[in-house]
Amino acid sequence: MPSEERQKIMRAKDAEAIKLTGNEFYKKKDFATALKHYNEAKDMNPDEVLFYSNIAACHIETKDFDAAIKSCDEGIASTKGKQYDYAKLAKVMGRKASALEKKGEFVEALKVYQAALLENNDSSIKDAMKRLEKNKKEKEITDYIKPEMAEAHKVAGTELFKAGNYPGAVKEYDEGLRRDPKNCAIYTNRAQAYIKLMEPNQAMKDAEKALAID
């Protein structure tokens, strides 16, 4: 084996040992010291893509999400134009997606999770993506709630109800409840509209919801 190749293998082994020492500090939540070891390992063997993920993990723990994303991007870039371990690359991409998620960039995080799954159909990445999709949906629902706008839809629904446009009234009440899911009056009004539309089951459900809130 050529001397240069032997030295490269020895550096990789030494770098791995340094990373393992970093892991011990990481477990103790001494992220500054862990980060120092991970950076040393990466400088010694920049071809090991997982070192970039280790560095990012420390930055995530200290809530420096931009630094975590930067480290992951450097790791991803290090695989370009050469043979690489697709499973390791997927882990780095998953780490980047996690940092984006914690930063609140849900749409971009989902894109990165999806790209990671194309590299490796990893169950942990799948689970993380499902959790993010659930959190994203819940946030969208929460962000959509605006009680003052619900009141406007209630008024519009009432006007349509008086005019005999019961389907139109239900539509307005639906939107009002999306804006304020705990608005007792809108449930009551929609129940009356359902009665006019000869939909007693729906009317009963709304009446029960109104009673549960009141």
Tens of pLDDT, residue by residue over 79-99, are: 999 899 999 999 999 999 999
Last residue within a domain, chosen from 112, 139, 166: 139
**What number is the average pLDDT over the span 18-34?**
98
pLDDT digits (tens, 9 = 90+) for 125-164: 999 999 999 999 999 999 999 999 999 999 999 999 999 9
Total domains in the fold of the chain: 2
Last residue within a domain, chosen from 139, 156, 178: 139
% of the chain exceeding 90 in pLDDT: 94
For residue 89, CA distances in Å to 26, 37, 73 come to: 21, 21, 11
**Is residue 2's pLDDT more than 80?**
no
User: Do 182 and 92 have their domain in common?
Assistant: no
The pLDDT assigned to 3 comes to 75
User: Do 132 and 205 have their domain in common?
Assistant: no
Last residue within a domain, chosen from 86, 121, 139: 139
Q: Please write down the long-range contacts of 206-210, taking CB distance under 8 Å and 24 or more positions apart.
A: 210/184, 210/185
User: Do 135 and 157 have their domain in common?
Assistant: no
The pLDDT assigned to 1 comes to 57
The CATH number for 124's domain is 1.25.40.10
User: Do 117 and 189 have their domain in common?
Assistant: no
What is the Cα–Cα distance from 88 to 76, expressed in whole angstroms? 10
User: Do 166 and 199 have their domain in common?
Assistant: yes
Alpha carbon 155 to chain centroid, angstroms: 37
**Is residue 41's pLDDT more than 60?**
yes
Cβ proximity of 79 and 89 under 8 Å: yes
- Domain span holding position 165: 147-213
User: Do 112 and 161 have their domain in common?
Assistant: no
Cβ proximity of 58 and 31 under 8 Å: yes
User: Do 132 and 204 have their domain in common?
Assistant: no
> What is the three-class DSSP state of 81?
coil
User: Do 171 and 135 have their domain in common?
Assistant: no
User: Do 108 and 178 have their domain in common?
Assistant: no
Cβ proximity of 203 and 195 under 8 Å: yes
User: Do 189 and 93 have their domain in common?
Assistant: no
What is the Cα–Cα distance from 74 to 64, expressed in whole angstroms? 16
User: Do 131 and 151 have their domain in common?
Assistant: no
User: Do 158 and 59 have their domain in common?
Assistant: no
Among candidate residues 188, 166, 162, the one with its CA nearest the CA of residue 177: 188
pTM, to two decimals? 0.76
What is the Cα–Cα distance from 95 to 91, expressed in whole angstroms? 6
